[in-house]
Structure 1
Amino acid sequence: MMITQVRRPATQLARLASLPSAASRPTLNTPWRRFASGKSKSNVSSHWFRNSFGFALAGTATYLGYTYMNGDWEAWIERQKEVKKEVIDVNDLRADFIQEKRSLKSPGVYTWGSNAHKVVAPESKDSDVKIPRRFKYFNGQVLRDFKIDEKSGAAITENGDLVQWGKGYSETEYKPTKTLIGKNLTSLALSESRIVALSSNGTIYSLPISKHDQGNGPKLRESSWMPFWGRQSTLSYRVLRPSLKLGESVTLIRGGLEHVVLLTSSGRVFTAAASTEHYPSLGQLGVPGLSFITRPSGPVDTCHEVTSLKGSKITQIASGDYHSLALSNDGRLFAWGDNSFGQLGVEFLPEHPFNDTPSALPLKKLYRLSIYSPKVTSIAAGGANTFFTVDSKRILGPEEDTTKVRDLGRITADTWSCGRGVWGTLGAGKWIHLQDSPIKVKDLSGLGEYDEKTKQMLPIRLRTMSVGTTHVAALLNNKTNLSAKNTDALDKSSDWGYEAFWWGGNENFQLGTGKRANLARPAYIKAPSESSKTPEPEARLQIMPRHKGKVGKRNVSMEQRVECGRHVSAIYSAV
């Protein structure tokens, strides 16, 4: 404001100084005399142009001189740079919709992180991919599931076939190849040496990751719909057979490095060995006293029911490298397995580094005051870390008066973590080697938004979370558009994407920031550019909600999902 007030007199002085003297000023009828005397119109225009240009030049010189004398010259230069940065191509809509336009144009997969085993970019010679890059093989495809690891990758196509790639699959043919086909697969889990896949009819297939082992291992005889027309399978695999009740089926699978966890439709939990090289020995199977020596007779990968969970209906399961989690329908969290870094959320005891019996996490200890009623709403695990979200409801304290408590019944959504935090994986802004008591992830806790329909504040919960060995990604379940529906196309609903956060280890650029520095707190990353030659306006990466989009000539309901593995990350379009 001060600059504006001073500039006006300076401009007026410049203008007065450039005016002609009173004796030489023309009278009111001078223009008529000029035309009458035969002077051309072009001369008049040229005089007017010269005078205007002189006024502008004098004013600009005065202003620049003033700003220079007052130290504002550098600030003026910076403002001009900011103006140039804000210029966006009108044909490119808004920068915030970059990811949305790509989803409309063509679904696909983005990968980044360690490429030492040709998993992130099989056709590239880069040892690391620093920022999200399109995986060409999956261009124009929507997938049922996608899992990625440092040594191998696996995906289930739209029609239920298994695709594998990476040097873990083959040292010479590491490009994507269809392996287990015709089984109508829906989801999968990766261990250190095997793939466990679930089909739509509840059948569980366990096959080696290695192409060599698939071709040279024992092969089952497959049945056919035609009598006496069975044939031998083309690759080696096994079928896991948990003891299910009539009408019960397996609905969800989660895997660690050596084991797999199965959830049934009735809320029961089974575990099984899922490694060709090692038998689970850190209690991750959840069966007290079970080891390779004490295992019952039968196949090594026999399914065992976690009987300690009987009486609780389990709705969610999760698995880290060597530990397992289960969430009951009444909001209790059970954990078992390795506790070397406190990932079970209980005190680490050197003489008892693991727990082979599921134990419930004491939620009351999370909130010191007895005025909150906590309930776990979601769980996630990976590496040596555990994450869970809690709905904390405000209740009446022992000596409180109902009439004086204004926030009674209010729900606050919090995110907690425990385990190994030396890379910042806990997300709490600290670098901790061992965290055996849950710590709050403050950046993802206590969030809320105003709902115009209900006219009240609602908590913002996590929509989903993917935990890798050293890094984590989380999506907020923020309401992208109150009037939007899943059946709407993005170009009609103007729906925003879900907020995506990344943090933890970044030794192989798996956070997608383009830098190697670790992050101890959740942070945004930039949306990937389709071309290095034509960089797009900067925009933070957002994950598209379920919408209708084009797959070839078909309209398909799809959404984007995030996957974190061992030093690698991915975003894929899922049906």
Structure 2
Amino acid sequence: MLHSKCVARPILRASRTPRLHCSISNRSRTQARAAVHPYAQRRQQHFIRSVVAITALATAATAIQWLHGSAPEVHAEEPPKHVDPVLEESRRPALSAEDSRELLSSQHVQVKKSWEHPGVYLWGSNTGRVAAPDSNEKYIKTPRRLPFFDGVLLRDIKLDRNFGAAIDEKGDLLQWGTAFSPNVKEPVRTLKGKNLVSCAISRDRIIALSSSGTVYSVPVSQEEQKTGPKPRTGSWIPFVSSPDTISYRIRTPSGLGWSEKVTDVVSGLEHALLRTSAGRVFSFASGTQDFPSKGQLGIPGLTWGTRPEGAFDLPQEITALKGFSIAKIAAGDYHSIVSDTSGRCFTFGDNSSGQLGFEFDADTLSIDTPTLLPTQRLYAGSPLHPTVTNVYAGGNTSYLTIEASAPSNTKTSTRSPNLKADTWAFGYGLTGQLGAGRWTHIQNTPTKIPSLSGLSEYDEKTNTIVPIKLAYISAGATHAAAVMDNLASVDVDVGNATPLKKGQKENDTNWGRDILFWGNNEFYQIGSGKRSNVNVPTYIGALDSAQEAEKKGHGLLEHGIKEVMGKEWSRFQITPKQKVRFGGKVVELEQKVECGRGVTAVYSAV
């Protein structure tokens, strides 16, 4: 029982409530606390242990900071100072004017490459190792440079599936292919020192023309060149001559007038045509396997049995064309086509596919006399007057370019030119070589090629609408290419160190002429990378786009335009003639296209 005395006393405090003071012994107090709070000691011990642990951790942290010499400093937090934002500098270096042009235009890049890195691109059949002499690939599907011709300028090039012939800048003849020699891996110089300017090929011979008008007939075979009779060549010492290094025959026509010389030569598989500076035309047998027998020589009644005395391949004048000043000549496999300065056209030879432009007659498959083609009928019912400006032939197909003009008193639209430039085709077209959008076995009347006819463009220099004419057609045996004479720009300086010309802007770019291909594509000779035939003129990709895509891991696209480094690589445009500095001298350089027998080439020409 607890004994206590309780006295109520007033306490001077802020509180107005009286407080009760009890007088209890210490032991009694301890027993009372234990009785009232049995777990108080446990809570007090737990609190003490927590305080000790926190104190120990704080002491340890302070000791670590002290050992590392970085005693914490306590500062009042200052407000952040205002700092102006700094824009990140461009990581791309500043572009020069020339670099900007290259980004703006793929055509500018093509023109620049054609000037700085001239050479020869080949594609198509490689069974005769013509497209790639050092490769055993059967086909070269897209344009590929022939390393031998890197940095080389050519005057001419002609191609067969089994051999190739080219004339370099010095006027020497180069040959390659299995028909020349099975073991040759690159072009070889054969006829040298004649200053040749152009050449044509038959089935087994090369007809080359020199700047002086001399005509050479050279065998394709290297073995025949070595073993055949070799003419003697004079030297600078009077009355001294020596045998030439290879066998050949000179086939310059006799009876030429004073200052008259041969200026053009073309050839089919068995015959060749020569045109002189006086507008006369001669023909002769250009092959040795078969004598021409389909009237392609243009001399009525001429056969192997009725030929004149002497060598079988002596040139003879086509007398039926006397009195006409012939301006253009062309030869297909077994037919011929010519036009005069007055815009008239004459055809002769094989007409089995309508390639002469006359009605097919099973009883008369050939015509051995030059016959006037009635081109006026093509514009019957219109006021236009047609004039033939050029002729082309390849295989069993023929082509005409015609400029049709209206009489001066005829009213024409201000939005269209007064002159129409059209392209016509006739002959065999089953594999698309007519280019008219149809697959035709026999086309015996000229049909217009819509993609190459009636085109026009705006000329900013003259502020007028002008017709887009055809620069030329290269007709192969079964395919063809057309180079358009559209407005081009090749006046912009290239190179970072070249100053701008007067009136030239930094964003001005170069661009070339449009070039289109069509016809048989059995050997990938179109250059699109596909094998299907094409019956409408179409564009292909830039010459280097396949190699660039290969390097960057991009495959070829299905169309002519290709993707390189994520950028659209534009269609191929061919560079027109322009004076450029190359090899330490100024040369007049252009790119040309040559369609052969299943093979195609684009080369840098002078």
Task: Identify which of 169, 175, 183 aligns with 2:180.
Answer: 169
Map 1:53-92 → 2, pairs under 5 A: 92=102
Q: Secondary structure at the match of 1:496?
A: coil
Query: Which residue in 2 is equivalent to 1:301?
Result: 313
Q: Distance between the aligned counterparts of 1:404 and 1:300, measured in 2?
A: 57
Q: Distance in 2 between matches of 1:540 and 1:460?
A: 19
Deviation (angstroms), 1:479 = 1.1
Paired with 2:392 and 2:461, the residues of 1 have a C-alpha distance of 31
Aligned to 2:213: 202
Q: Does 1:555 align with 2:586?
A: yes
Pick the aligned partner of 1:567 from 587, 595, 598: 598
CA contact (8 A) 1:501 1:524 kept: yes
Tell me the equivalent position of 2:485: 477
Q: Structure 1's 355 and 174: CA in aligned 2 closer, same or farther, altered over 3 A?
A: farther
| One-letter amino acid of the counterpart of residue 221, structure 1 | R
Change (3 A) 1:403 1:316: closer
- What are the superposed Cα offsets for residues 510-539 of structure 1, whole Å, 9 maximum, x if unpaired? 000000011110110001224421364421
Please list, as runs of the form range in 1=range in 2, the aligned pairs for 1:398-437 lying within 5 A after superposition. 410-437=418-445
Mapped partners of 1:120, 1:282: distance in 2 = 31
Give 1:215's match in structure 2, choosing from 198, 206, 226. 226
The residue that corresponds to 2:551 in the other structure is 533
The Cα of 1:349 is off from its aligned counterpart by 0.7
Equivalent position of 2:322 in the other structure: 310
Pairwise CA distance, 1:234: 1.4
Per the normalisation by structure 1, the TM-score is 0.81
Instruction: Name the structure 2 match of 1:501.
Output: 516
Q: Percent identity?
A: 46
Shift of 1:489: 5.4
State yes or no: 1:321 paired with 2:333.
Answer: yes
How far does residue 174 in structure 1 lie from its aligned partner after superposition? 4.6
* Alignment partner, residue 115 of structure 2: 104
Alpha-carbon distance between aligned partners in 1 of 2:126 and 2:583, rounded to the nearest angstrom: 30
Report how far residue 551 of structure 1 moved: 3.4
Provide the C-alpha distance between the structure 2 equivalents of 1:495 and 1:91, rounded to a whole number of angstroms.
9
Q: Which amino acid aligns with 2:198?
A: S
Alpha-carbon deviations, 1:277-328, whole Å to 9, x = none?
Answer: 1111111100000011110001111101011111110111111111111110
Task: Find the residue that maps to 1:365 and give its secondary structure.
Answer: helix
- Give the alignment of 1:143-542 within 5 angstroms: 143-243=154-254, 244-395=256-407, 410-481=418-489, 494-529=509-544, 530-531=547-548, 532-534=550-552, 536=564, 537=567, 538-542=569-573
Tell me if the contact between 2:108 and 2:510 (Cα under 8 Å) persists in the aligned partners: no
CA distance in 2, matches of 1:377, 1:37: 96
Q: CA RMSD in A?
A: 2.3
Paired with 2:162 and 2:355, the residues of 1 have a C-alpha distance of: 25
> 2-side partners of 1:132 and 1:405: how far apart?
44
Q: Name the aligned partner's letter for residue 332 of structure 1.
A: R
Q: 1:49 aligns to what?
A: none
Post-superposition offset of 1:373: 0.7
Q: Secondary structure at the match of 1:160?
A: coil
SS at the partner of 2:551? coil
Superimposed CA distance per residue, residues 374-425 of structure 1 (whole angstroms, 9 cap, x where no aligned partner): 11111111111101111111238xxxxx686657992111100001100110
Amino acid at match of 1:288: P
Alpha-carbon offset, residue 356 of structure 1: 0.6
Could you tell me how far 1:550 is from its partner in structure 2? 4.4
Q: 1:503 to 1:39 in 2, by over 3 A?
A: farther
Flag the 1:406–1:140 CA change in 2: closer, same or farther, 3 A. closer
Matching residue of 1:58:
none
Counterpart AA for 1:38: E
**1:123 partner letter:** D
Could you tell me the TM-score, scaled by structure 2's length?
A: 0.77
Aligned partner of 2:577 in structure 1 is 546
How far apart are the structure 2 equivalents of 1:365 and 1:516?
37
Give the CA deviation at 1:453: 3.1
Provide the residue aligned with 1:56 in structure 2.
none
- Unaligned ranges ≥5, structure 1: 1-35, 46-88, 397-401
* Contact 2:580 2:587 (C-alpha < 8 Å) held by counterparts: yes
User: Would the aligned equivalents of 2:264 and 2:274 in 1 still touch at CA under 8 Å?
Assistant: yes
CA contact (8 A) 2:278 2:325 kept: yes
Structure 1 Cα separation of the partners of residues 209 and 514 of structure 2: 30
Equivalent-residue separation in structure 1 for 2:386 and 2:410 (angstroms): 23
Q: Structure 2 CA distance, aligned partners of 1:403 and 1:524?
A: 36
CA distance in 2, matches of 1:40, 1:133: 69
CA distance in 2 between counterparts of 1:327 and 1:431 reads: 27
Question: Residue 80 of structure 1 aligns with which residue?
Answer: none
